[in-house]
Amino acid sequence: MMRAARFAVQLGFEVAPDTQGAMVEFAERLDIISAERIRDEFVKLLSTDEPVPGIRLLVDTGLADRFLPELIELLTTQDDHGRHKDVYEHSLTVLRQAIEMELVRRDPETTEADIVLRLAALLHDIGKPATRRFEAGGVTFHHHDVVGAKLAKKRLRELRFDNETVKRVARLIELHLRFFGYSDQQWSDSAVRRYVRDAGGELEQLHILTRADVTTRNKRKAERLEHAYDDIEQRIAELSEAEELAAVRPELDGAQIMDLLQISPGPLVGRAYKYLLEVRLDEGIIGEEAAEERLRAWFAEQGDN
């Protein structure tokens, strides 16, 4: 909470002696502060080990509504299982749990907070208000992951976050639900490869975010999800050791494709590469000779296209 007060002071607010009252009174002044300054102070708040009290203060005083209104909208969006009084409380819980896991799993040589992870944890459900639907079975939020990723991109760009941070946060938000299908039915090796491919450099952060997103009070369900994620991490480790999953690519590169098919650079090369990548993801390593045979067969089916 003190960090939130400093947030206000650094931006020119007179917050003493009644910190919260003054922040409410002068909230509109935030509109004349540059996005860059607001971003920097918000990052400082998120970088603390316990940012949740400070975030609550920003929301309660109306400051958050000036630069991150999506948080305010979460206050009135009931979640789909009634686990929290609103999605806002769930999001704060996920942020807190993500930080706890980050601190445990962090590289000992790294001292900086993982802002990408923390932004993704805080914003992972901001697509729910726009996708909330009341159906016979209750409340649904279909595709809130995709919608939330787009909203996060827009908001973070307005706050002048760099493009790489925006891209990485959006990717985590878009992927944060992917695992939950695995808990119902074990994935094929192909599905695991695609999970790793899509996560890219954010795989470790996706591990943390997905685990942190489990906030159910049902111990049996929580344990089942935990064991399921233990399993997928083990599957990823085993496949990575055997196939170098972090750098999944076809057995043939663009130059080899053009040479084999006797074609010039163009869209057809890209389509051929994409085909071989799908084979790689579906079947794993098949070897260069087999890849050449598959490519020739595919090419023969293309006709004049």
CATH architecture observed for domain 68-246: Orthogonal Bundle (1.10)
Looking only at the bridges linking them, the beta strands covering 133-135 and 138-140 are antiparallel
User: Which amino acid is located at 13 in the chain?
Assistant: F
Distance CA 251, CA 193 (A): 15
Cα–Cα distance for residue pair 136/234, rounded to 1 Å:
38
Q: For every one of its 305 residues, what pLDDT tens digit does the chain have, with 9 covering 90 and above?
A: 445 555 554 554 444 445 566 566 666 777 778 889 889 999 999 999 999 988 998 888 888 888 899 988 888 775 555 444 578 999 999 999 999 999 887 776 777 899 999 999 999 999 999 988 877 777 788 899 999 999 999 999 999 999 999 999 999 999 999 887 665 667 788 888 888 888 888 989 999 999 999 988 888 888 888 888 888 888 888 877 766 665 677 788 888 888 888 888 878 888 888 888 888 777 777 788 888 888 888 888 886 55
pLDDT at 295: 83
Amino acid identity for residue 287 in this structure: G
Query: Which pTM does this prediction carry?
Result: 0.77
Give me the residue spans of the domains in the chain: 1-67, 68-246, 249-300
State the Cα–Cα distance between residues 205 and 109, nearest whole angstrom. 17
> What is the Cα–Cα distance from 183 to 102, expressed in whole angstroms?
23
Q: Which residues contact 106 (CB under 8 A, 6 or more apart)?
A: 114
Burial 33-65 (b: 16+ CB within 10 A, else e): beeeebbebbbbbbebeebbebbbbbbebbbbb
256 to 117, 287, 295: CA distances (angstroms): 39, 14, 11
Label residues 192-230 b or e (16+ Cβ within 10 Å = b).
Answer: bbbbbbebeebbbbbbbbbbbbbbeeeeeeeeebeebbe
| Contact of 179 with 159, CB cutoff 8 Å | no
Provide φ and ψ at 261, rounded to 5°. Answer: -90, -5
Contact by Cβ (8 Å): 76, 86: yes
CA atoms of 28 and 13, how far apart (whole Å): 11
